[in-house]
Structure 1
Amino acid sequence: MQTPPIKLISIAKRIHKNQPMIELNQALISRYSGLENDTRGKFGPRQITLLSQESWQQACDAIHQPNISWLTRRANLLVSGKQFSSSDIGNYVRIGKAVLEITQECEPCIQLDFQFKGLQNALNTSYAAGVCCKVINSGKIEINDRVFFEVSQHQECLFDFK
């Protein structure tokens, strides 16, 4: 039995602090600004955030709120077919032409509990809140792009950019 591919199922950004997230069909990811025009996309180890659809759903189910929008989490990219773990830190992710390096686990903030009681705690287990990434290679991404994970060896990007 073949494992289904990992896919990018949604993209979101926030243009201004304290504004709602905006979903996009496509976006440009830049080495210098993360997701184009996102308020938090500054250069550094937390330019882009990835969230697992499966982990998100488990957290929502844990607080008996199965239909919470993933935008509540305020992540940039939602992927299906992958749950994150500590073994992902330092590895690379390719979506379209963009390449990201997973730098750390995302820590869920208290703001989540203001919206849904218990959500912060539900996301505070085993990378359920997703991972933070820095951009290695700029590129355009689109919903339904396949997502490829590459195990880092000697911190060199192993993807063929041809």
Structure 2
Amino acid sequence: MESIDHAEVSLDGGIAGDFRGARKPGGLGRRQVTLMEAGDWDRAMTEVGRTIPWFERRANLLVEGLDLPQTAGVRLAIGADVVLEITRETDPCERMEVLAPGLRAALTPDWRGGACTRVLAGGRIAVGDLIRIEES
């Protein structure tokens, strides 16, 4: 994992450099880009009594100042061009327990583990870009 300040996002590949975002032939691309709220990560860290960098969660984007909708089908516009559609909750995996005992459980309530999205419109995103919830 690496932390970067900008990235290209595409319909077929998700975030450039992240093989998990590639849309498989015939696939729906339901997990191209993952987002997590900074406040949710902070609450989970408080619960487990640890300070672990957010990117260890392996989410693609850390969101601040926005309560991510917990509804499939909601669209998020990022920056000038990128549009993502929420497809489902990102379930915390067993790797979270390796990072800190109890972390998986701390990320389970209220979509704290984040949201999975598919790319509807690609483009460039950067740290500080505004994220807007679009009406469907």
TM-score by length of 1: 0.77
1:51 to 36, 39, 42: 36
Q: Which has the larger radius of gyration?
A: 1
State how many pairs are aligned: 130
- Deviation (angstroms), 1:150: 1.5
Q: Percent identity?
A: 36
Equivalent-residue separation in structure 1 for 2:127 and 2:95 (angstroms): 27
Report the counterpart of residue 35 of structure 1 in structure 2: 15
Tell me, what secondary structure is at the counterpart of 1:24? coil
Query: What is the one-letter code of the residue matched to 1:89?
Result: A
Q: Deviations over 1:106-144 (max 9, x none)?
A: 000000101111101100111000000000001100101
Query: What is the one-letter code of the residue matched to 1:103?
Result: T
Matches within 5 A, 1:63-74: 63-65=48-50, 67-74=51-58
Moved >6 Å (runs of 4+): none
Tell me, what secondary structure is at the counterpart of 1:126? helix
Equivalent-residue separation in structure 2 for 1:83 and 1:89 (angstroms): 14
Gaps of 5+ in 1: 1-20, 153-162
- 2:71 is aligned with 1:91: no
Decide which structure has greater helix share.
2
Report the counterpart of residue 129 of structure 1 in structure 2: 113
- 2:86 is aligned with 1:106: no
TM-score by length of 2: 0.91
Across the aligned residues of Structure 1 and Structure 2, the Cα RMSD in angstroms comes to 1.1
Equivalent-residue separation in structure 2 for 1:81 and 1:147 (angstroms): 9
- 2:35 is aligned with 1:79: no
- Deviation (angstroms), 1:64: 1.4
